[in-house]
A and B are shown apart, each in its own frame.
Chain A
Amino acid sequence: MRKLGVFICHCGVNIAGTVDVKSVAEEMGRVEDVAHSTDYIYMCSEPGQQIIREAIREKGLEGVVVACCSPSMHENTFRKAVKSQGMNPYLCEIANIREQCSWVHQKDREEATRKAAEIILATLEKVRKNESLEPIAMAIDRRVLVIGGGIAGMTAALDLAEGGYGVVLIEREPGLGGHMAQLSRTFPDLDPALPGLVAKASAVERHPKINLLCYSELEDVKGYVGNFDLTVRKKATLVDWEKCNGCGDCIRDCPVEYASPFERGLGMRKAIDLFYPDSVPSKPVIDREHCQYFLDKGCRRCEEICPKKAINFAQKDERIELKAGAIVVATGYELYPMERLGEYGYGQIPDVIDGLAFERMLSPNGPTRGKILRPSDGKVPKEMVFIQCVASRDPDRYMPYCSRVCCMYTAKHASFYKEQVPDGQPYIFYMDIRSDCKGYEEFLQKTIEERGLLYLRGRVSRVFQDDGKVRVLGVDTLTGRMVEVAADMVVLATAIVPSPGVKDLAAKLRATVDRHGFLTEAHIKLYPVESSTKGIYLAGCGQSPKDISDTVSQASATASKIQALLSTDKLLQDPLIAFVDEGICSGCGICVEICPYEAREMDRRRGISVVHEALCQGCGACIAACPNFACELRNSSASQTLRMVDTFVA
């Protein structure tokens, strides 16, 4: 019989306010094999842990139950504490009496106390049969794949490369920079976005530790943390970038022009062109959909003019096989499509544009060379309306969340407008102003005061074209009046939504996304840059809307987490996984099909199913599916579970 210890945490008043911890501790002390039972205000604190350590030493405990919060909070803390006294950490278990008891039964002290005792008794049953286990050690590949070459991906890649780790950076577009490359100047310091960004992109391009694959997408992922096998599809650029010297003759001579997505439709691009004018790498790609050669073989002008003979119409997509130990998903965002905003004209009114389009207009390298001009007739707008929270914070019809950057960039936009058009009038419709980061509130107040911006607190119900003007109907809820503006131009601060294709990518990576398509972190507070799948890390707006400062911070956090992961020789993994009783397994293979992690495999020679220890996440699906009860989960065996259930129903 093992000597067991029970340690009950008050969690301040979180548990003790509902559960009578003293009486539970007394009750547990009366259990036959419990040699020590006590309670303390914060068991996770240093003095709390000291109580556990001393009890193990003095009473010679052989198993421990800590009754406290969820195991995802402090299981690790307490396992480390018992390990320091020479106890196998897997002989320490958590009885969750906070989330699963005190928090949900706050109105019934008696019942909560009874239930807490039962939870602890059941956990004691488990600990009685727990085995001593050792973590599983696995070899590790020290390279990292970064998906996305925006500011998040570039930051993570550079940090990792500076740390000495090899990085493969893949980017869907032909150049680096992402949406930040579209911005004019950034809040709150009003620094031009491009110079810093281009410097970073050049550093990425030149870094000996970074293998940059532009115009590439992840096609397939196999393996697990420390050992991912990847297939990347490098799309045909139709230009041999090795030969190309970036002279730009082909771009100049190309006869085909179409609306540039980078310019948000306000400017044109050629069928052979750079991602954007200052793009890094400074190499062009041919767009098959618009190139005359691919339409009717009618034009080979770029091929003729290229001094380096770099044009290759026959170039094919290329598949590259890679290995990596960790993956950073930095897939970024897109703006909510204006085509779906009925009340604001379905994207059909030329003088109603979104925030990124206005950024292009403000950019010195943009379609208007930095001048604010109406798209419809090129005139300077004298009445400007800015609408915040478009499709954000609208749970009924659009996105329920706040997109976080719009308050600040709208103030910036209005300020730039006033700077360029001193006699113009900007109106800003807002719901609330959120300026909660360093220097933001100061920037906002200064802008409003210096520029005399007119903020109207209220929503706009409708925007429509009317005789060369854009009529805006809204309400000012502070005066309680309807407001009607005959505007020359309207800028919509549309919601940030995840980049298209993220759901497919997440499925490939076995990472999860929330209902809006944002990648989910393992724990919003404790593991904010880890995805729920080991070895997959997050950075930037793919996880949630955020500004550049937060994105860069998060990307660096991600990089340092990965450096910690890859700094060891062997990767240690929890051994709480499935195992097979080889004498009972009949080799039916149901477990192989049911396993969501591809961790079960048939051993053809022996005719039984085996567990791939590195892949198994201990989810238990195979255990439930096995018709012979041949697989079990370590330290959660059927007999342990049944004994626990017995305790509850007794």
Chain B
Amino acid sequence: MKFSYFPGCTDHSTSYEYGRSTEAVFRALGGELVEIEDWNCCGAAATHSINRLLSLCLPARNISKAQSAQVGPLVVPCAGCFNMLKRTEYALKNDEAKRKEIEEIVGFRYDPSFEILALMDLIVNRIGTEKVRERVKRSLKGLKPACYYGCALVRHPKITQLDDPENPQYLDRLMKALGAEPIEWSYKVDCCGADLALTYGNVVKKLVGRIVSMAKEAGAQCIVTSCGLCQANLEMRQEVDLPIFYFTELMGVAFDVEGRDQWWKKHMISPKRLLESLGLA
């Protein structure tokens, strides 16, 4: 089980703990992630609103590198990176002229059979929740997370082709496999405000405030995400102290992998008290 791996900038910086937990969980599942050599920024947040061609070529370069490495399908943990890569894939697959242009600029030939997978999709559907359940050493019983998908993973459905865009279930199924009891709520695909955090902090504060307070109202003890930017926004712009996990971190807790303390250190809202209260520290 070998996969090409695109960590994206965040997994080496702000979402360091997402990257480390992803790798740790993957080892526990018996898989291997081979980081793309000399990868570059996916272009998220800025390029697609400034220069469409650049926003297609930056991810295309990563696709080209991963394709030529011949390791296997490309796995992407971050929802934003995933969305950018899938947009490029969509253009490569459906727009002949654009494909030629991109190939010319990046200098490669696109292979339409090359797969790009969201880490969440890979774990839930390829590896399967059965296999995840087998690896669980300590059940997350009693933990009530709100599964938060955000927008980038499921939209546009034609492009990302991942789960139901209105009421996605992958994370919920994964959390159940870990023994947790995900709550039902209506804000799982609401926008967190993304990079508006840098320019219109108040807007993001409002959006995040609603997501977090609604999760709390629905009885959640924490929120689970799959995106570096969602996690940062939810953690930094809320006012109620609800811990925000990456789903890989909770997998790590359930699998009881090493080095978890290093992850918690990166959290603005420490999840330690919550985990201790459930005997999962």
Contact = CB atoms under 8 A, between A and B. Distances in A.
A316 B133 CA distance: 54
Nearest to B157: A397
B contact residues, range: under 10
Nearest to B189: A462
A465 B164 CA distance: 18
A199 B167 CA distance: 47
A342 B186 contact: no
A471 B167 contact: no
A466 interface: yes
Interface in A462-478: 462, 464-466, 471
B186 A343 contact: no
14 contacts: A342-B164, A342-B165, A342-B166, A342-B167, A343-B166, A346-B166, A346-B167, A396-B158, A462-B166, A462-B186, A464-B186, A465-B186, A466-B186, A471-B186
Interface of B: 158, 164-167, 186
Contacts of B164: 342
Contacts of A466: 186
Interface of A: 342-343, 346, 396, 462, 464-466, 471
A462 B186 CA distance: 9
A317 to B, nearest CB: 40
The 8 A-B pairs with the shortest beta carbon distances in the complex, nearest first, are A342-B166, A464-B186, A343-B166, A342-B167, A342-B164, A466-B186, A342-B165, A346-B167
Contacts of B186: 462, 464-466, 471
A465 B187 CA distance: 11
Nearest to A348: B167
Nearest to B158: A396
A394 to B, nearest CB: 13
A634 B238 CA distance: 81
B257 to A, nearest CB: 36
B106 to A, nearest CB: 29
Nearest to B185: A464
A362 to B, nearest CB: 29
Nearest to A342: B166
Nearest to A466: B186
A144 B104 CA distance: 65
A343 B154 CA distance: 13
B16 to A, nearest CB: 34
Contacts of A346: 166-167
Contacts of A343: 166
Contacts of A471: 186
Nearest to A343: B166
B239 to A, nearest CB: 20
Contacts of A462: 166, 186
A418 B240 CA distance: 41
Contacts of B165: 342
B274 to A, nearest CB: 25
B147 to A, nearest CB: 15
A342 B186 CA distance: 12
A396 B186 CA distance: 24
